[in-house]
Structure 1
């Protein structure tokens, strides 16, 4: 994790030593380690203000190769992109963008398929996770663009999912890989997203049809209450690297991810199967606290972070790297597109 000195000084871990890894085919963009000890890289144009879309169009598959080889790529010093520009860059690299279906967090659609990042209160931490790894279908690439950096904090930390996997003790990995993860969500309590927001429809039949198509069990409980259960993967093999990666949100969905006082209040108010959201082993057995502690320790050990600057774009291979959000103060605006 970076210290305050690192964030303030160009001599710290970020941008330190700028030893060139490679140069784009037109020698317009230099590529260097994002942070010491990580595969992620940063790209900086030789001429400030170069349009990333123009570079992408003229450099062939350079950016795609960097994403696949390094897992996460920071574009810094290019001309800032608005929501339209971010969508154009993402579409040019990845093709058709993905909508945000089966939602788990509140976001606002900014333009077409470009969204705000998760709209949680600024004092909250969003734990490291791979986007939509609570489903059986997820985006392979994330595009994050900083419109306004926070006055303090607000970094988007990253973690190498293969290294997280390898840090989790073998006994914990084996249990999760054997059984998978069951995500249980109870809609209608008014304490989380409504089913209407999560599934982007007012039609119960559409929700039921979507869930049947995607292997999600549904149970309508009267009124606006809906309970869903979904058993999916705990690990996957990265399509780009071929490595086994930790790929689930058990530690994030589990009620223990909440502040202790909130967890206690929820447990006093709801039975285990009525909690607004929770995670279990795939066979329905409650998660062992020791296993959750191992997973969280693995993420903490692999977490890296850099300070956002206006105009930054980070391209993340969603299988190779997890991401999160640190608490912040002041205004902060980060947009995201998924492909």
Structure 2
């Protein structure tokens, strides 16, 4: 992550980025302030694609849930068709992805591999890490523009096919679909254009999705897929080659192909990851920070970190 730009405070003028909103001088509780400034907060996100609210007094995950529901104007959504391990708290608040602290989580738009995704996300920093642990961002419009034309056009023409094999290495299907019933899994897949195949108690799914989307409000094209995150080359070190050789491309825990089933070259995935790295920036977390995000306009990820880190997330405004 050596190319990551950290956006820092300017000690003379207060902030150097208008998307950081320092509210530490407010005397009300965080929820009370939000209720009095709903339109203003939503305008910040609509204009800039995200907003960092800093300095609000927030005492619990329940209060965070109430703040998000007030801003979004609806109850928070349940996290279905999961791709990473999380702990569910009350009122559809979740921990962020619980991968090992040394692991970097690549940039992604939440649920871009699915035909349903949240338009709005909110992150809440309960405990910032001792070092690292930022939640980097990247503008999906700029990612689209900066991917070389030859690669971009092929993805745009063919789309992406996501292949998942649930079981020993990746998440079990019971956790992904939040049920122990094969019938319920099949019903969900049928309703959401997911092909599925059972191998006794093991499940494989395939889902074809566009690689590029248009933002419903702005009409702008955004790079909106997780091909780089699912692709076999994203597995660390030599593990990718060993797993490919031992179990084959089609049986990896997860993999990404073009929508017609053809192989995506490792080199093209490396180019896409480099574009993300070049465009990624972050704000070092402070306790009680709330980061509001337009999930189609901006990707997010996670830096490696040391010490204790606790960041919560809630999602709403599901679209398809």
Scaled to the shorter chain, the TM-score interval is: over 0.9
Correspondence for 1:59 among 20, 32, 37: 37
SS, match of residue 274 in structure 2: helix
1:121 Cα deviation from its structure 2 partner: 0.4
Contact 1:117 1:335 in 2 (8 A): yes
User: C-alpha separation between the residues in 1 aligned to 2:226 and 2:239?
Assistant: 19
Residue 278 of structure 1 pairs with residue 255 of structure 2: yes
Measured against aligned partners, the alpha-carbon deviations of 1:37-92 in whole angstroms (never above 9, x if no partner) come to xxx71111261554332222112411111101101110111113421011111111
Residue 312 of structure 1 pairs with residue 289 of structure 2: yes
SS, match of residue 260 in structure 1: coil
Contact 1:69 1:241 in 2 (8 A): no
After TM superposition, list the pairs within 5 Å mapping 1:74-89 onto structure 2.
74-89=52-67
User: C-alpha separation between the residues in 2 aligned to 1:237 and 1:192?
Assistant: 31
Correspondence for 1:14 among 8, 19, 29: 8
Measured against aligned partners, the alpha-carbon deviations of 1:179-228 in whole angstroms (never above 9, x if no partner) come to 1110000112x001000000000000000000000000000111x21110
User: C-alpha separation between the residues in 2 aligned to 1:33 and 1:132?
Assistant: 32
List runs of 5+ in structure 1 lacking aligned partners.
8-12, 21-31, 35-39
1:17 Cα deviation from its structure 2 partner: 7.3
Aligned partner of 1:29 in structure 2 is: none
Instruction: Please identify runs of 4+ aligned residues in structure 1 that moved more than 3 A.
Output: 1-4, 17-20
List runs of 5+ in structure 2 lacking aligned partners.
none
| Cα distance change on mapping 1:18 and 1:317 into 2, 3 Å | farther
Q: TM-score scaled to structure 1, two decimals?
A: 0.88
Residue 106 of structure 1 pairs with residue 85 of structure 2: yes
Q: TM-score scaled to structure 2, two decimals?
A: 0.93
User: C-alpha separation between the residues in 1 aligned to 2:149 and 2:119?
Assistant: 26
Aligned partner of 1:143 in structure 2 is: 122
User: C-alpha separation between the residues in 1 aligned to 2:293 and 2:175?
Assistant: 26
Correspondence for 1:298 among 257, 275, 278: 275
| Cα distance change on mapping 1:238 and 1:33 into 2, 3 Å | farther
Contact 1:49 1:77 in 2 (8 A): no
Q: Which has the higher contact order (CA 8 A, sep 6+)?
A: 2
50-59 or 311-320: bigger deviation: 50-59
Contact 2:3 2:278 in 1 (8 A): no
Correspondence for 1:228 among 190, 205, 213: 205
What is the root-mean-square deviation of aligned Cα atoms in Å? Answer: 2.0
After TM superposition, list the pairs within 5 Å mapping 1:1-339 onto structure 2.
13-16=7-10, 34=17, 41-45=19-23, 47-48=25-26, 50-94=28-72, 95-188=74-167, 190-222=168-200, 224-339=201-316
| Cα distance change on mapping 1:312 and 1:111 into 2, 3 Å | same
Contact 1:52 1:79 in 2 (8 A): yes
User: C-alpha separation between the residues in 2 aligned to 1:220 and 1:334?
Assistant: 36
SS, match of residue 68 in structure 2: helix
SS, match of residue 307 in structure 1: coil
1:127 Cα deviation from its structure 2 partner: 0.3
User: C-alpha separation between the residues in 1 aligned to 2:27 and 2:302?
Assistant: 27
User: C-alpha separation between the residues in 2 aligned to 1:136 and 1:81?
Assistant: 35
SS, match of residue 153 in structure 2: helix
288-297 or 132-141: bigger deviation: 288-297
Contact 1:69 1:240 in 2 (8 A): no
Instruction: Give the number of equivalent residue pairs.
Output: 315
